[in-house]
Amino acid sequence: MQKYDIAAYIWPAYTGDEPRTRMFWPEGMGEWQSVKNSVSKYPGDTWPRKPLWGYVNEADPYVMEMEINAAVEHGVNVFIYDWYWFDERPFLENCLDDGFLKAKNNGKMKFYLMWANHDANSLWNKVISDTPAGSETIWKGAVDADTFDVVCDRLISKYFCKPNYYRIDGKPVFMIYDLENLLKGLGGPENTRAKLEEFRQKCVDAGLGGLHLQLTQWGERVLNLSGVDGGQKPDSEIAPWLGFSSLTNYQFVHFIDIDRDYADIAAEVPAYWERWTEKYPIPYFPHISVGWDNNPRFHGFRPGIVKNATPEEIEKALRKAKEFVDTHDLPAPLITVNSWNEWTETSYLEPDDLYGYGYLEAIKNVFLED
């Protein structure tokens, strides 16, 4: 049995099966449209890149059977699905429902959900992403208390009950991306705390043993809890008070200067892990990002690019994460990775025509070498 839980985020937009994606990607292939149409924009640019598996539909169970096999053979044994709720209904669920959960071999892997409860704009629509219209909000990510109840019931009945849903201390793990939006929608810290406790009790009543709430850590954010002076609190205080059980990151870009060589970034990241371990009274699980360059989402040039994110450098970073897990008393041997397929942010493990299977081989070298 594998000693470490290597959990890669999945951006479930590489399908045209969700009708509402056509407003962003009218070709009917999801965000593969932006990948396919990417061009080189600056000296040393490694785009355009092509997926070795092709522009596959990741809501197809046959495709996911292939991807699951490739993942587990290289040491990725958990998928974290980005999960969305916009306009009073789920968005992009079909990659999980029709792809992963209908794959005959999905029992080889665990999965859990990260509620990407941020606002949605037209960033995904490359036609207008460079214009002011690209930043206009389409859907609000915050939900009120009644909608939150609907969300919780759906999560418990559809996903948490699955035998391969990822658990820590026997409890299903559920990550929340935007703490500020959660507080905003539920009406402040007291109401949010009460609703999260109700969520936890619903999980107990469903025979799930409780709930392991995980926070997406953005880098020590200070939250305005009341809208007035003196109402600000750091998330290191508010998250444990709300009942969160642990934290990890989604992307290096959220907390560190990424406009430089990957080796320089990776050299500084472990100090952040240690700082958060000391500052937060809940466990921190280490995170590794593969890179960052979101130019494929725009016509114009976007600064802020991780350089030289080679498989060799990724492997070195992964070894640091492994060492962190080995030397800290954590409730699970969990390492999160961005990501399995964030192609338009240039942070993915899936094989391409630049490094082949290099990123997956890096994980295999570190975590399956024994």
Q: Domains of the chain by range and CATH?
A: 5-367 (3.20.20.80)
pLDDT of the residue at 223? 77
* 22 pLDDT tier (thresholds 50, 70, 90): very high
pLDDT of the residue at 226? 60
pLDDT of the residue at 263? 98
Say how far apart CA 98 and CA 328 lie, in whole Å.
38
* 370 pLDDT tier (thresholds 50, 70, 90): low
Proportion of the chain above pLDDT 90, given as a percent: 92
Q: pLDDT tens digit string along 177-198?
A: 999 999 999 999 999 999 999 9
Q: Region 42-65: what's the mean pLDDT?
A: 97
Whether 102 has a pLDDT exceeding 80, the answer reads yes
Calculate helix-pair angle for 189-205, 179-186, nearest 10 degrees.
Answer: 100
Q: pLDDT tens digit string along 31-49?
A: 999 999 999 999 999 999 9
Whether 229 has a pLDDT exceeding 60, the answer reads no
Answer whether 0.95 is exceeded by the pTM. Answer: yes
| All residues at 6 or more sequence positions from 150 whose CB lies less than 8 Å from its CB, including other chains | none
| CA neighbor of 223 nearest in space, from 181, 275, 259 | 181
pLDDT of the residue at 230? 52
The amino acid occupying position 148 is: F
C-alpha torsion 325→78→109→59, nearest 10: -170
Structure tokens at 187: 């009406």
pLDDT of the residue at 231? 67
Whether 227 has a pLDDT exceeding 60, the answer reads no
Report the chain's mean pLDDT, rounded to a whole number: 95
Whether 300 has a pLDDT exceeding 70, the answer reads yes
Q: Region 5-30: what's the mean pLDDT?
A: 96
Of the listed ranges 126-135, 225-234, 263-272, 312-321, the least confidently predicted one is 225-234
* 133 pLDDT tier (thresholds 50, 70, 90): confident
Q: Region 252-268: what's the mean pLDDT?
A: 97
Q: Region 147-172: what's the mean pLDDT?
A: 98
pLDDT of the residue at 228? 43
Q: Is the CA virtual torsion 37, 177, 257, 77 positive or negative?
A: negative
Whether 219 has a pLDDT exceeding 90, the answer reads no
